[in-house]
Amino acid sequence: MEKKIVLSGIRATGHLHLGNYYGALRNFVEMQQEYDCRYFIADYHSLTTQPEPELLNGNVRSILAEYLAAGLDPEKCMLYVQSDVPETCEIYTLLNMHAYLGELEKTVAFKEKARKQPNNVNAGLLTYPVLMAADILQHKAHFVPVGKDQLQHLEMARNFANRFNHYYGCQLLVPPYPYEAKGEPVKVPGLDGSGKMGKSEGNCIYLNDDDRTVEKKVKKAVTDMTPTEPCSPMSEPIANLFTLLRLVSDEATVTQFTDAWNDCSIRYGDLKREIAQGIIRVIAPMRERYESLYADTDYLNRVRRDGAERVRVEVRKTLDEMRHVMGIRFF
């Protein structure tokens, strides 16, 4: 049976953190076996905020190295950089002719960005969902792993696909659906006592943090008073620390700390030391691979070139089919 196609994209802004790892990246490594997986770094989408060129280039490089360090295997999946595949831009142009100002202006992410950067409401920002649809539809991807904030964009990609098929009386484009990961979704809490780990929240452990940085960050994590009554309910900051412990430690250790909580003998210093050691066990091998990968310009460029080459063969077909039904062809 043909494997279903899964496409995942990430914008090139800053380093990946533990939340990215447990929330998505670790699944990607497993998905490689079961699906026809394609992963890319969306550097055009990063341009909507007009980043400093060297910074953008460095961000693409570090995410590529982080993906490889975490176990994405360019032999098993297609791994590429968006801007290395010019066909996407052509598909974007074609799709733009069926994307309406009204629907683009109504997009939640667009309205938010326009509010945040009122002096830079550029056309790229407005048509962001069309470019994203081009990313997806060119692959005829069945599934896209997305967070809640991207569901609307994915719905728009579905609309664009259906609209195109309907308008031209064909079944050419495949409407994409959210990829549902198996089991409970993993939410990695932040170190600030509430919510989830996120770059904009500034409560992250990055995959390339060194051991001392991890220890320092975990040491500073928010706690409160130790319990005085046996089996007290846990406050959010403490429950968050236990969530982290469960992610990075073994069952016996978790039981040991749970018992210590229940009989009020717990010491947060010990708990934090255990969490820090657990995190270090998870990320240190990735960091080491990351460092040598990041420095290996030839290898990274080779991965980019090979990835783009394979993707271009696939998406060229979609582009040619689209052009054909639209009447863009030789006589």
Q: Given the DSSP bridges, would you call strands 36-42 and 177-178 parallel, antiparallel or unpaired?
A: unpaired
Burial 4-23 (b: 16+ CB within 10 A, else e): ebbbbbbbbbebbbbbbbbb
19 binds ligand TRP (CB under 6 A): no
Least CB distance to ligand TRP at residue 63 (A): 12
Residues 37-56 that bind ligand TRP (CB under 6 A): 42, 45
In contact, 328 and 90? CB cutoff 8 Å: no
Told to judge if 196 belongs to the known catalytic residues of this protein, a careful annotator would answer yes
* Nearest CB to ligand TRP, comparing residues 15 and 289: 15
Q: Which residues contact 309 (CB under 8 A, 6 or more apart)?
A: none
Q: Is the dihedral of CA 5, 6, 10, 16 positive or negative?
A: negative
135 binds ligand TRP (CB under 6 A): yes
* Nearest CB to ligand TRP, comparing residues 41 and 207: 41
Told to judge if 106 belongs to the known catalytic residues of this protein, a careful annotator would answer no
In the list 132, 161, 197, 214, the residue contacting ligand TRP (rule: CB under 6 A) is 132
- Catalytic residue, chosen from 76, 187, 199, 219, is 199
136 binds ligand TRP (CB under 6 A): yes
* Nearest CB to ligand TRP, comparing residues 139 and 304: 139
Other CB atoms within a 10 A radius of the CB of residue 146 amount to 19
Span near ligand TRP by CB under 6 A; candidates 146-154, 185-193, 194-202, 294-302: 146-154
CA nearest neighbour of 80 among 314, 317, 318, 291: 314
311 binds ligand TRP (CB under 6 A): no
Least CB distance to ligand TRP at residue 150 (A): 5
- Catalytic residue, chosen from 106, 116, 196, 220, is 196
In the list 96, 117, 122, 150, the residue contacting ligand TRP (rule: CB under 6 A) is 150
Least CB distance to ligand TRP at residue 46 (A): 9
In the list 144, 197, 271, 303, the residue contacting ligand TRP (rule: CB under 6 A) is 144
23 binds ligand TRP (CB under 6 A): no
- Sequence letter at residue 102: G
The contact set with ligand TRP (CB under 6 A) reads: 7-11, 42, 45, 132, 135-136, 144, 146, 150, 153
Catalytic site positions: 113, 196, 199
